[in-house]
Chain A
Amino acid sequence: MADPFLELINVSKTYPGVVALDDVSLSVSHGEVVGLVGENGAGKSTLMKILGGVIAPTSGVVHVDGVERRSLTVKDAIAAGIAFVHQELNLFDNLDVAANVFIGREPLFAGPLKLIDRKKLRREVQPFLDRLGVDFKPDTLVSDMSIAQRQLLEIAKALSLNSRLVIMDEPTSSLTLSETERLMKVIAGLKSEGISVIFISHRLNELMECADRVVVLRDGRVVGELGRGRIGHDAMIRLMIGRDLKSLYTPPAAPPGDRALEIVDVETSAWPGCTVSLDLRHGEILGLAGLVGSGRTELARAVFGVDRLLGGAIRLNGEPLAISTPREAIDRGIYLIPEDRKRSGLLLDVSIAANISLPDLASYSRARLVATRSEADNAEKQKRKLGIRAPSVATEVASLSGGNQQKVVLAKWLSMAPRVLIFDEPTRGIDVGAKNEIYEMLRVLADSGVAILMISSDMEEVIGVSDRIAVMHEGRISGFLDRKDFSEHNVLQLAVGNRVN
């Protein structure tokens, strides 16, 4: 085979305190389909950002068409013919297909007015749609199109840019089986035209079907490559795991108590038609693992009353609950520490004290007026108890570090009487020291009888902190694991929808 189209040689990317990519080498030949797999946080996104020219590698070189470069800019990437089909599609859904394909490069009528030649625009788009064999027209509105059609539109856009490498980031995660099949055909078509594809997916079956080669990333390193004949489930999973997990586990002081929260056949809007059932006991930490998009956050939101339940029932200590607003959940002692604390957990330019008192302001008020003294006293108490590092409780939370912000969110709920705490990615974006403090807090809370549901995509955290693990896959619980069966292998098998013996 001729020289590879694209080559990364010994590329590393470090952030302060984090090595996102460590000495990665990767090559893609003309017309080759390379599968890329790895757990959440293995470094796939960082690698893609380097290829797209969004970030520059800390060290290493990139070869495009044999030309050596230290890094790419977004312009270079486009000029080299690297195109992305993102998980979150970047389309203007108020415009039609043709306008999206040629956005910023519209054919114009001659003259000073720069009017768009819409006929020509549509005429020029048609061949790209024909090449992909799509069932929509140049004047179809994007807002009327399905997700699968939108993805094909993104690919058409890539073709129109004379792309020679199309990077697809989990393109099939929201496609039906027949749509996926069609995408496979499209990929085969691209390949036959000499266009290379990097295909990122958690669906190992698809990789087996379309990839010439699979590259496995783990903790920012390439840990293995599987050639055409050797691509298989077990081989891929074996490569994806296999690091030593530090032991974080502190066993509970007492065996778990009665059932606290029972989730029975609950259906959420993220995965209509799929139901989830699980029990959570007093004094236990139940880890909820799964790949991003498996429906875990939506489950938490539904239990907390942010989203409406499409079906099923929730019971607390045996009593049925009808929760339709967060207030009703809060009044019963069910609290949520949300995934995106800046958006949903905190008022950023407001003081620590006012953030902590917000859900329970009535307790800090007399005659409907806020007693700032008792509010500050409680905040002071929580600050000491949780070790929130801030000059004072009047400090705005925006100026705190991620770990301290998370402690403020936690302090909101610990000032009240928690029975069930749902943590959604409790340590995302938090440094190691604060992480360990939060893990210790989780155990202390569980030992005091609180039932804890911990959604986490961090394998080390799920395995190191939980007493029991439930794994979700595409809107359903694919299995439960007891402590003796904890292993990265087992969690991952369940997360991609396989069985564990």
Chain B
Amino acid sequence: MFKKDLGLLLLILVVGATVALINERFLLPVNIANTANQVGLFGLFAIGQAFVIITGGIELSSGSMIALLGVLLIDMIVNLDVHWLLAIAIVVGAGLALGAIHGLLVTRMHLQPFVVTLCGLLIYRGVARYYTKDATAGFGFGESFPTLEWLTTARAFGIVPHSVIALFIVTVVMGVVLHRSVFGRYLFAVGKNEEAARYSGINSNRIIVAAYIICGGLTALSAIFFAMYTRSISPASHGNFYELYAIAAAVLGGCSLRGGEGSIVGVVLGTILLQVLQNLVNLLGIPSSLNFAVMGTVILIGVLADQQFSQYRQHRAAAHGRPRAAGASVAEAAE
């Protein structure tokens, strides 16, 4: 897994160096800080996505959820005079609750994750638009919430965006949870082989629900950052396709959509690569309409290369031979 992360880092460096050679503005502190801010915003919910993907599931409603929770937040603090701390708590609580509902529908009702979260995607988008009567929700002229704004959009030392610091903290905490904790071990076990996990006494349903809850919570957190960053939300377009960025980041970062594989560092690196590509499109003067096409091509190449590489490794492992294991399976076949 570590090797995979290293490969991705190498890819980022190569792409970055190429862009820097062609256009030196890439390395300007302003540009790096802006790109880093985007990485922070997208990284937060991409990590949540990774937890769900490791269970073998998928979360398609992230973008709609970011829009819904965003308009909710702005409406509460601007129009309803809810204290911003309470508003944040409500938004995060709502994210956790939506995650829990997804998880319960998947485990208790045996619905497919794709279906559950696709419905979420449609429902939350519709509710967000209805809630604001399709109008843009935003801060009025001169309205300001200094502490909340400082928390979410200020830059430490004048240069490091707070979203990056938030992502760093979340990365460390979630990295420990995923790679060091008992829960993380269970999560991988359930994703790899749910039946064997069950036979080892793991309550797989609870683990899966927890993954969706974590995803919902992190999505809510990033919804707050997005809302404060854009300062105005048009509910029909805010967050469109964001779930695909998260899925792409997770896949680039080594998560298998079959479940049981993935690393937090990988997901963050995947997010970085996607944002560097966005930046590349802007800086190299590529028509921005080609944005998605560039991204899709690079992901395809990256995943293809990874596939070839792991096949090569498997061939090599097989060539080194496991005569005993092979003998045993033949004996089984003979029965």
**Among A14-22, A102-110, A159-167, A196-204, which stretch is in contact with chain B?**
A14-22
Binds A, one of B3-11, B295-303, B324-332: B324-332
B325 contacts A347, C-beta separation under 8 Å:
no
Question: What size tier do the contact residues of chain A reach?
Answer: 35 or more
- Asked if B316 is an interface residue, CB under 8 A from chain A, the answer is no
Chain B interface, DSSP helix/strand/loop, else mixed = helix
Inter-subunit contact A412/B195 (CB<8 Å): no
CA of A347 to CA of B191 in the docked complex: distance in angstroms? 10
Specify the chain A residue showing the minimal Cβ separation from B333. A15
In the complex with contacts A368-B181, A401-B325, A429-B329, A350-B192 CB distance below 8 A: yes
Asked if residues A370 and B325 are in contact (CB atoms below 8 Å), the reply is no
The reply on A156 being an interface residue by CB < 8 A is no
A359 and B322 within 8 A (CB): no
A484 interface residue per 8 A CB criterion: no
What's the least CB distance linking A375 to chain B, in Å? 10
Q: Assess whether A399 is in contact with B196, with CB atoms less than 8 Å apart.
A: no
CB neighbours of B202 from chain A (8 A): 327, 358-359
- A327 with B201: CB separation less than 8 A: yes
Q: Which of A40, A326, A349 contacts B198 (CB 8 A)?
A: A326
B188 — which chain A residues lie within 8 A by C-beta?
A: 350
* Chain B residues within 8 Å of chain A by Cβ, number: 33
A89 at the interface (CB under 8 A from B): no
Return B254 CB to nearest CB of chain A, in Å: 14
Q: Are B185 and A429 in contact (CB under 8 A)?
A: no
**A344-364 to B contact mask, C-beta < 8 Å, 1/0:** 111111100010001101100
**Neighbour of A18 across the interface among B195, B196, B199, B331, CB < 8 A:** B331
B189 within 8 A of A: yes
Contact of A344 among B195, B328, B334 (CB under 8 A): B195
In the bound complex, do residue B331 and residue A17 qualify as a contact, i.e. CB atoms below 8 Å apart? Answer: yes
Minimal Cβ-Cβ distance residue in A for B322: A399
Which B residues are CB-close (under 8 A) to A347?
189, 192-193, 196-197
Chain B residue, CB-CB nearest to A358: B200
Q: Identify whether the interface residues of A are mostly helix, strand, loop, or mixed.
A: mixed
Q: Is the CB of B199 within 8 A of A344?
A: yes
Q: Provide the B168-209 mask, 1 if CB < 8 A to any CB of A, else 0.
A: 000000001000111101101100110111111111000000
Complex interface: chain B residues within 8 A of A15 (CB): 330-331, 333-334
CB-based contact B182/A370 at 8 Å: yes
A384 close to B (CB within 8 Å)? no
A382 within 8 A of B: no
Chain A CB within 10 A, most for which of B180, B186, B200, B322: B200
Partner of B186, one of A41, A304, A343, A361: A361
Measured between beta carbons, the chain B residues less than 8 angstroms from A331 are 201
The contact string, 1 if C-beta is below 8 Å from chain B, for chain A 408-435, is: 0000100000000000000011110000
Binary B-proximity of A304-338 (CB < 8 A = 1, otherwise 0): 10100000000000000000011101110000101
Choose among B201, B203, B332 the residue that contacts A429 (Cβ–Cβ < 8 A).
B332
Kindly state whether residue B317 has any CB partner on chain A within 8 Å.
yes
Q: Which residues of B contact A431 (CB under 8 A)?
A: 324, 327-328, 331
**CA gap between A331 and B203 in the complex, in Å:** 13
**CA of A20 to CA of B201 in the docked complex: distance in angstroms?**
37
The residues of A that contact B200 with a CB separation of less than 8 Å are 326, 330, 358-359, 412
Chain A nearest CB from B210 CB (Å) reads: 13
Given contacts A16-B327, A362-B182, contact A41 B195 (CB under 8 A): no
Say if the beta carbon of B335 comes within 8 Å of chain A.
Answer: yes
Q: From residue B324, how far is it (CB to closest CB) to chain A in Å?
A: 4
- Contacting A at CB under 8 A, from B303-335, are 317, 322, 324-325, 327-335
Partner of A354, one of B185, B193, B327, B333: B185
Kindly provide the distance from the CB of A221 to the nearest chain B CB, expressed in whole angstroms. Answer: 15
A402 within 8 A of B: yes
Nearest-neighbor residue (CB-CB) of B203 within chain A: A327
- B332 closest partner in A (C-beta): A429
Q: Within the complex, what minimum Cβ distance (angstroms) separates B200 from chain A?
A: 4
A367 to chain B, nearest CB (A): 9
Q: How far is the CB of A117 from chain B (nearest CB, A)?
A: 35
A-B contact pairs, 18 of them (CB 8 A): A16-B331, A18-B331, A20-B334, A306-B199, A330-B200, A344-B196, A345-B199, A358-B202, A359-B202, A368-B182, A368-B183, A369-B176, A369-B180, A369-B181, A401-B325, A402-B328, A404-B324, A429-B332
Given A347-B197, A358-B189, A412-B200, 20 new contacts (CB under 8 A):
A17-B331, A18-B334, A45-B335, A325-B201, A326-B199, A330-B201, A344-B196, A344-B199, A346-B196, A358-B185, A359-B202, A362-B182, A369-B181, A369-B182, A370-B180, A370-B182, A399-B322, A401-B328, A428-B332, A429-B332
Listed in ascending order, the chain B residues whose CB lies under 8 Å from chain A are 176, 180-183, 185-186, 188-189, 192-193, 195-203, 317, 322, 324-325, 327-335
The 3 residue pairs across chains A and B that have the minimum distance between CB atoms: A402-B328, A401-B324, A429-B332
Q: Which residues of A contact B (CB under 8 A)?
A: 15-18, 20, 40-41, 45-46, 304, 306, 325-327, 329-331, 336, 338, 343-350, 354, 358-359, 361-362, 365, 368-370, 399-404, 412, 428-431
